[in-house]
Amino acid sequence: MKKRFRPGEFLIERSIQGVAFISLLFICLIFVFVFREAVPLFTGKADVVTANEEVGAAETYGEDASAPLPQAQQELEQKHVPFRAAALTAKDWQPVSLEPKYGLWPLLVGSLKVTFIALLLAGPIGIFAALYTSTFAPKWAREGMKPVIEILAGFPSVVVGFFALVVLASILQNLFGFQYRLNAFTGGVAMALAVVPIVYTVSEDALAAVPKALTEASLALGATRWETALFIVLPAATPGIFAAMILGFGRAFG
């Protein structure tokens, strides 16, 4: 039987295919750009950067702004500084200095520091919230809380970072008296907001998967609900909770 041609359906299909193709094209172009920019680091044929051999005397601005500035005694001698891949392991990150330094060590240490603080805050909150939801919360509360928290897990990191920059940094500075608004603790708290939903969602699924027979046997032996939750249900769900922490680490570190 010959399929009937429908113009509307044809246009919708071609539109979806076009959007998918354009998205794939942009992703490929991103990889091409990153690859093109990174190749010189490994081939040793990078474009040289220009740096000054000497640092000139600092200019002094007096009250008489109308007077012309004196001519420099001599022009700064220019030299070419080739990029070295070994510089990536340096401890300095100064991309805009006269002699740029692109050490990855500060970036790595800073990321690990923020990730550690985020997991330290988000881990207990997410795990115990999941324990309450799966063990103690009534059904109507569980059905309402979990979808909302799962939606929060989809918040982009850019939105969380902007919130931390504009709102959270000032609040924490006034609360703890930090000298600088932007520090590792502020970043860790901000990332904890993004990690808590992930830890909660995966941990709640792991806790809900614990066999009911274990809970019923513990209660039958005289244990309280809290004792059953802490010493029976929680240890039984340890593999799933560990997976939740790993996913949270990936979200925070990335």
The pLDDT value recorded for residue 69 is: 46
Mark the ranges of the chain whose per-residue pLDDT is less than 70: 1-2, 40-90, 95, 97-100
Q: Rounded to an integer, what distance in angstroms lies between the CA atom of residue 117 and that of residue 249?
A: 11
Residue-wise pLDDT for 200-234, tens only, equals 999 998 998 888 888 888 889 888 888 888 898 88
The pLDDT value recorded for residue 29 is: 95
The residue extents of the domains of the chain are: 106-253
Residue type at position 212: K
The pLDDT value recorded for residue 106 is: 80
The pLDDT value recorded for residue 242 is: 93
The pLDDT value recorded for residue 172 is: 87
Q: Give 153's contacts (C-beta < 8 A, 6+ positions apart).
A: 197, 198, 201
Residue-wise pLDDT for 114-146, tens only, equals 999 999 999 999 999 999 888 888 888 888 888
Q: Please say whether the structural domain 106-253 has been given the CATH code 1.10.3720.10.
A: yes
Return the percentage of the chain with pLDDT > 90, whole number.
19
| pTM listed for this prediction | 0.65
The pLDDT value recorded for residue 51 is: 47
Q: Give 94's contacts (C-beta < 8 A, 6+ positions apart).
A: 100, 101
How big is the CA angle at 120 (ends 114 and 126), to the nearest 5 degrees? 115
- Residue pair 203/127 in contact (Cβ under 8 Å)? The answer is yes
